[in-house]
């Protein structure tokens, strides 16, 4: 099993290149921003897990009380903080951390965001349970997740080979149905579920903690 430091170093190597890449599907990205904002409130305290270079957190910051972005990659967080230092919102901060970091207090958040993240965790049920714990009663998980298990056989064959050469991270091969079921099994009521784009295999889900 890869260690956290191995995972961090993988994403550290990609961080600057990742930051320079344009958004692959700008229309779908904008739609997800809008869908997310429909659930956000001005008084919300928000945590984003797997925030990358912080662009999405910065865009959501004007719509909430405070947002903390976290990522396993210190280099991704360095880039996110550079954005804050050049005129970013005052109600956002970024830290290098995994979801189980003790700085994240149980019941501290109104909303937890995860975009393009949950398919990269090795223990999806445990991560979803951790998110459930971090949320206040009635709090929301808002996730957009590639469901690689629906993409056919090629990713299952290619990813292990690429991982062996350090060219790919761990990928969890769950389907859209399995992901939605895992959210429900973690104690969330699924309030919204639908494709991120008209075609593709990324699922947008909103789950409410009871």
Q: What is the DSSP letter of 23?
A: P
Question: How is residue 171 written in tokens?
Answer: 């990928």
Instruction: State how many domains the chain has.
Output: 1
Picking from 144, 119, 118, the residue whose alpha carbon sits closest to that of residue 131 is 118
Q: How far is CA 82 from CA 66, 73, 78, 133, 153, in A?
A: 18, 14, 6, 31, 40
Three-state secondary-structure class, residue 170: coil
Q: CA 56, CA 62: separation in Å to the nearest integer?
A: 11
Whose tokens are 């190597």? That residue is 13
What are the residue ranges of helices labelled H in 64-152? 74-85, 124-134
HSE-CB at 197 with a 13 A cutoff on CA atoms is 13
Question: What does pTM read for this prediction?
Answer: 0.94
Whole-number pLDDT of residue 1:
40
Which residue intervals of the chain are DSSP H helices? Answer: 4-20, 26-37, 55-60, 74-85, 124-134, 153-164, 176-185
- In this prediction, residue 6 carries a pLDDT of 59
Query: What's the pLDDT at 2?
Result: 45
CATH of the domain at 9: 3.40.50.150
Q: Which range marks the domain in which residue 188 is found?
A: 4-209
Per-residue model confidence as pLDDT tens for the chain (210 residues) = 445 655 899 999 999 999 999 998 899 999 999 999 999 999 999 999 999 999 999 999 999 999 999 999 999 999 999 999 999 999 999 999 999 999 999 999 999 999 999 999 999 999 999 999 999 999 999 999 999 999 989 888 898 889 888 888 999 999 999 999 999 999 999 999 998 887 789 999 999 998
């Amino acid at each position: 099993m890869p260690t956290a430091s191995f995972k961090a170093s993988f994403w550290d190597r990609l961080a600057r290149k990742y930051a320079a890449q344009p958004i692959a599907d700008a229309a779908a990205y904008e739609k997800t921003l809008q869908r997310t904002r429909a659930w956000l409130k001005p008084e919300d305290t928000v945590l984003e897990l797997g925030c990358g270079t912080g662009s999405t957190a910065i865009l959501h910051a004007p719509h909430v009380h405070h947002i903390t972005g976290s990522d396993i990659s210190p280099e991704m967080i360095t880039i996110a903080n550079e954005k804050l230092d050049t005129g970013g919102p005052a109600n956002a901060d970024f830290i290098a951390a995994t979801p189980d970091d003790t700085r994240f207090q149980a019941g501290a958040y109104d909303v937890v965001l995860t975009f393009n993240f949950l398919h990269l965790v090795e223990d999806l049920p445990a991560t979803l349970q951790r998110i459930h714990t971090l949320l206040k009663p009635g709090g929301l998980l808002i996730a957009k997740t590639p469901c690689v298990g629906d993409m056919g056989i090629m990713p299952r064959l290619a990813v292990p080979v690429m991982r062996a050469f350090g060219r790919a991270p761990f990928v969890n091969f769950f389907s859209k149905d399995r992901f939605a079921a895992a959210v429900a099994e973690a104690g969330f009521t699924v309030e919204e579920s639908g494709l991120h784009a008209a075609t593709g295999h990324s699922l947008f889900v909103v789950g409410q903690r009871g």
